[in-house]
Amino acid sequence: MELPVKFLLLLATVLYLLLKLTAYLLITHQNRIFAKSHNCLPPGRLPSSFLGLSNWVRLTRAAKRGDILDHIVSRYPIHGNTWKGRILFGTSIGTIEPENIKTILATSFKDFGLGSERHDNFYPLLGDGIFTLDGAGWEHSRANLRPQFSREQVSDVEALELHVQRLMNRLPEGDGEVVDLQPLFYCLTLDSATEFLLGESVDSLLSPELNPTGAASGGKEMSFAQAFNVSQAYLVQRSRLRGLYWIINPKRFRDANAIVHRLIDRYVDMALHPEKRAKKAPEGKYVFLDAIAAETKDPKYLRDQTLNILLAGR
């Protein structure tokens, strides 16, 4: 009985490899025909070692140093406005060619998509929304959200004044003193975005410890601002692993997602049941969540749309 089992395993392996090879050859052939019919030039070549591991290691190290944008930008003067190479088991194409960007985002928008990998990776935090969906799902979310961003609503700069003043109060008073503005700007965008979306700000700029990363919190539960930041940091780490994103799923990531969902769900519940609100929004004040709650009563849909827009605000 042992020989047939080994034989079947070998046969299954061979068949799998043949299927992968057939798919690769078919896609290569289709791409060649497409490139010829559209007069596409071949992309520059990003040097890639076996399975693209070296490129992935360099990307990861740049992220740890905090200069990943510089690392990515540095490729283009060397390899051209459009390049192709392997990064961790997969083929990547990078482009800053204006015509390519216009094609992807405008003239041939429907020919491109985020893919299931993006959806499955981001789903634990963002659910189904404009940052995770393709096709009909994306179009549905966009159609429902677009009316909520009229010129009158997004130009209400008076709502920013309080948060800007709070940011200014967090700046050191000493002349010439160096200050890291990044955590301040993160809290500013989060506070103003939550006021626009939920009707109330999370007031992260008022926190005694301005610590949006949630690092060394002394065993205390993360604040919403910290949890939202931590969740996004993990999503970025997972993205760099491409199809292996599921390897990164620690308790800290799951806890951060739960904290974010818990707060948003509380506001969703109040939008669906206004009588539960301790205080009502001022007369005439626009609240994004209330507006979309008037269109649908699905709590998960409301949470997902709110979180996707909050990500944009962040």
pLDDT of residue 2: 56
CA distance linking residue 92 with residue 86, whole number of Å: 6
- In DSSP terms, 92 is beta-bridged to 85
Domain borders along the chain are 15-112, 124-313
> pLDDT per residue over 110-152, tens digit each?
888 888 888 999 999 999 988 898 888 888 888 877 777 776 6
| Nearest of 79, 282, 299, 107 to residue 195 by alpha carbon | 282
CA distance linking residue 262 with residue 259, whole number of Å: 5
What is the residue-averaged pLDDT of the chain?
86
Kindly state which CATH superfamily the domain 124-313 is placed in: Cytochrome P450 (1.10.630.10)
Where is average pLDDT lowest: 63-67, 144-148, 170-174? 144-148
- Extract the tokens encoding 209: 């410890």
Q: Are 287 and 167 in contact (CB under 8 A)?
A: no
Where is average pLDDT lowest: 69-78, 180-189, 196-205, 280-289? 280-289
List the end-to-end C-alpha distance of the chain, in Å, as a whole number: 60
pTM across the whole model = 0.80
